[in-house]
Structure 1
Amino acid sequence: MKKLLFLIWALAASWAGFANDNRFSFNSGNWETGTTKPVVENYLGQESLYLERGHVLYSNQEMQDGILEVDIAPDPARGMAGIVFRHDGKNNYEELYIRQGKSGQPDAVQYTPVFNGSSSWQLYAEHQAKHVFRPNEWIHLKIEVQGTLARVYLDHSDIPSMVISNLRQGSKSGKFGLWTLNGARFSNFRFTPLDPTTAPTGSIVPDVAANVVKSWQVSPSFLVQDVQVEKWPKLHQLTWETLPTDAQGLLNIAQYRSKREAEAFERNTDDMVWVKLELQSDKEQVKKLYFEYSNKAHLLLNGAPVFFGDNSFRAKNGMYRGEIDKQLRTNAVYLPLKKGQNTILVALASRANGWGLMARFEDMNGISIK
């Protein structure tokens, strides 16, 4: 009898902080709030946690695979709110959120990995979904995570609104919690662990176009105001690190370089890196290079500027999103190559929402990448 009572007590203790059916209490004291100041209050008939900005993490448990659920009431005009998971306790995590003000539009639901504190949604436009939100009601968000696969469900539907087949943080364990940009209330937060051994193997990645550049040499990062990007840098004074692209050919700079300020969005610092590609050409010729980037890019060939573009959020008008086209169909530059060695340099700058590039040659006849 004593053993039975001890077992019951142990089980109860292990679930401290939970309410019924795996719900987490916001009054448990198990939430890491940092500089944010959440408020527990009643809203639309439910106990809720109000966050003005930032995220809170649950401190007593980590997840590798599992089901995360929460009811959300974001600011109806500007609200962006959702769940973070596989958080390393620093600045690297997965982020999934809803945008009530975008109800009925293709980007009402968004996923982005966050590397070194930088959100990169402009680089992952394929992970967005349309949804119509009912006004003045709780929005139910559910994420089922297994390995590098995630399924996203809204408002108790059995049909996923979005399937993410290659989570960019991999299948590591990490913390989980809640996030908002412009104010939101959260209620009925739940976590149900899943057995990692049942996770699907491998990721489904779209086919990569031929002749895509698969690695680049990248310098340390600089503040833009410290660099005259129109001028040829002193290459011997720079150090270079060869970095691979992902399976689609995208190099997300934020995965490898930190910005001075990354979490204030349009109030961030302007940071840049030099990106280098060295080519060998067997003759003088002109090659067409399809090129995508975020946010701003100066491209130089053998010291001469040949391209500048600004793909920043709202750079062209108030509705311009600045997402890159991973099919590499929209931007191209013609490169007058000389016989022998040629050096392509890109001054790639970012303020917010994405810091990356990808490129492919129309053909590789007579050229090779060193």
Structure 2
Amino acid sequence: MLRHKSFFICSLLICSFNLRAQNTLTDWQAFSENNEPVTLTEQTYKEKKCVKLDGKKETIVINKNKNYRDFRIEFDIAAKVMAGVGFHVKNEQNYQFLYFRPGYGGTQEAIQYIPIYNGGLSWVLYHYPIHEAKTDIMAMEWFHAAIEVRNKIMRVFVNNKKEADMTLTLLDTDTQNGNILLRTMFGEAYFANVSIQEIPESLTDWSISEQLPRDRTYDYTEVKKNRSWTKIDQKNDEMVNLKRYFEYPNGTVFAKRTIASETDKPQLLYFDFTGKLQIFLNGKEVFNYAKYKLDRLNNYENCIVLDMKKGENELTFIIEGDAFVFGKGFNSMGRLQHQNWGFVAALAEKTR
């Protein structure tokens, strides 16, 4: 049994995979303001190798290699008027757009988010305090930006700040994923050191058992015997919060889902949880933490390799919440129960 397993598995695997995709000019297609294809060339601006968009002959570059749903893009940018990143690109007229106004650095108009519907840049409809934000940037001076999109939440970081300059929920468009583009308007812009890191999509669709007593240990044979399963899928919450589903949350639950694989291959499972957790793949135990854990959840706190088989694979969690912290349970208006009971999980490809 893998009892008392360390929570630093990810650090042991970090050298064996890399989600980051460095981009070169060959990865991008450039278009003029009249939507005509053009050729990009690498330049140097203020001692930094980069790509220049002049806002007329070159106004948009699109990376069509891959569609992204959740991701983090980082880049250096120097711009004159308005420049930024489009994502979830359906076509050149429909996408999400986050851009900077360097000439308005230090004001509430320095960062702007707009959904582009049918080509419209509707900046008078979407503005401060939700869709605009303040940050310190200057026209035609380099600054670093990072844009992170996860589960429809976008966060924008300027110059490597730990706290986001902007955080908001994306407005609905026709697509939840798509290409990424760089764009400038009304003046030139320079982009350098562009990198895109895909964020694995959280697994929100599971089947869960009825609540079982928490004062005992379970194994996979009892999972196979269970006949009562309830399907759950809260797509707007990447955390599987088990208290949603039980009026009196105080026990242990089995959670399972099927994962299809086209070939025999390893995949990475990122996860975090409260309480105790056992993980099984196709009936084989691959993780077991028998002590109690009560920390703020982090999507990438733990990472293990799953050896997927061609066809359907069954992933199973056996999880107990945090009632132990309070002895027999937290006193919630006269009853003893869990306060925190749940997990977060995501799959990613193991690239090497």
TM-score bracket, shorter-length normalisation: 0.3 to 0.5
Provide the TM-score with structure 2 as the length reference.
Answer: 0.47
Provide the TM-score with structure 1 as the length reference.
Answer: 0.45
